[in-house]
């Protein structure tokens, strides 16, 4: 944020100066189906996209990458546990990750734009693999333009909801916890933000996010 933006911010009655957002489920939709549909058996796609027990181990493997493990190490272990066919599906998913990002969440580009125009700091903090995060900005260049910085768990090898990644973001961006709002669609991550003094809010949709920001005195 340039000096003019920051000074204009300080003159506001609202104590909130900065708003930080999770990515998947908040800024962009993550959906396995459009990535895998038509390339793998339909029963496999349907089960993967509806089964929260993660019988195929996709979510656990991706979580390892989000935490900083290299794909090469993850896929080696995954193949040993789940076999070649599922390892091939997971490899395809990672290579075509942009197809699993079908759209931005409705209303979020407008919200980020309004925050920036009003002089607030706008930041990202995400649990995302450092090997696939580039797809987010390549597919949605408006995000790279609107966000003033983003902390990515797989790059930093630390992840939400742990305090270390929140503190890293605060220090890197020069934010004061009590003057920062963080939106995440996972309640555990909201609680992690609150634990370090950030005003954490569970994200449902853009209209509700606007209401929460207005409640906190954000003028947009």
Residue 3: count other Cβ atoms within 10 Å of its Cβ. Answer: 7
What local confidence, expressed as pLDDT, does residue 140 receive? 98
> Residue 9: what pLDDT?
45
How many CA atoms, within 13 angstroms, populate the side-chain half-sphere of residue 18?
A: 24
Low-confidence residues of the chain: pLDDT under 70:
1-14
Q: What is the pTM of this model?
A: 0.91
| Per-residue pLDDT, 25 | 97
- pLDDT at res. 11: 44
Which residues, listed in sequence order, are joined to residue 92 by a DSSP beta bridge?
none
Q: Which fold has domain 3-29+103-215?
A: Rossmann fold (3.40.50)
Q: Is 190 left (phi over 0), alpha (psi -120 to 50) or beta?
A: alpha
* Domain locations in the chain as residue ranges: 3-29+103-215, 32-100
pLDDT for position 145:
97
What are 148-165's pLDDT values in tens digits? 999 999 999 999 999 999
3-state secondary structure the chain: CCHHHHHHHHCCCCCCCEEEECCECCCECCCHHHHHECCECHHHHHHHHHCCCCCCCHHHHHHHHHCCCCHHHHHHHHHHHHCHHHHHHHHHHHHCHHHHCCCECCCHHHHHHHHHHCCCEEEEEECCCCCCCHHHHHHCHHHHHHCCCEEEHHHHCCCCCCHHHHHHHHHHHCCCHHHEEEEECCHHHHHHHHHCCCEEEECCCHHHHHHHHHHCCCCC
pLDDT of residue 13: 41
| pLDDT of 65 | 98
What integer pLDDT is reported at residue 2 of this predicted model?
53
What is the reported pLDDT for 7? 45
């Amino acid at each position: 944020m340039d000096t003019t933006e920051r000074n204009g911010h300080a003159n506001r009655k609202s104590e909130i100066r900065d708003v930080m957002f999770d990515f998947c489920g908040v800024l962009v939709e993550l959906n396995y189906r459009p990535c895998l549909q038509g390339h793998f058996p339909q029963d496999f796609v349907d089960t993967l996209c509806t089964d929260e027990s993660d019988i195929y181990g996709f979510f656990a493997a991706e979580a390892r990458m989000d935490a900083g493990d290299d794909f090469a190490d993850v896929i080696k272990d995954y193949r040993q546990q789940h076999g070649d066919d599922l390892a091939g599906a997971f490899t395809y998913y990672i290579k075509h990750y942009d197809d699993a990002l079908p759209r931005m969440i409705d209303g979020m580009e407008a919200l980020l734009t309004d925050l920036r125009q009003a002089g607030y700091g706008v930041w990202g903090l995400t649990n995302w693999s450092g090997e696939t995060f580039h797809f987010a900005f390549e597919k949605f260049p408006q995000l790279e333009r609107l966000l003033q910085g983003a902390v990515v768990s797989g790059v930093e090898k630390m992840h939400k909801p742990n305090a270390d990644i929140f503190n890293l973001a605060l220090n890197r961006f020069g934010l004061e916890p009590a003057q920062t709002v963080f939106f995440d669609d996972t309640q555990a991550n909201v609680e992690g933000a609150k634990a370090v003094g950030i005003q954490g809010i569970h994200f449902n949709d853009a209209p509700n996010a606007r209401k929460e920001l207005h409640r906190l005195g954000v003028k947009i």
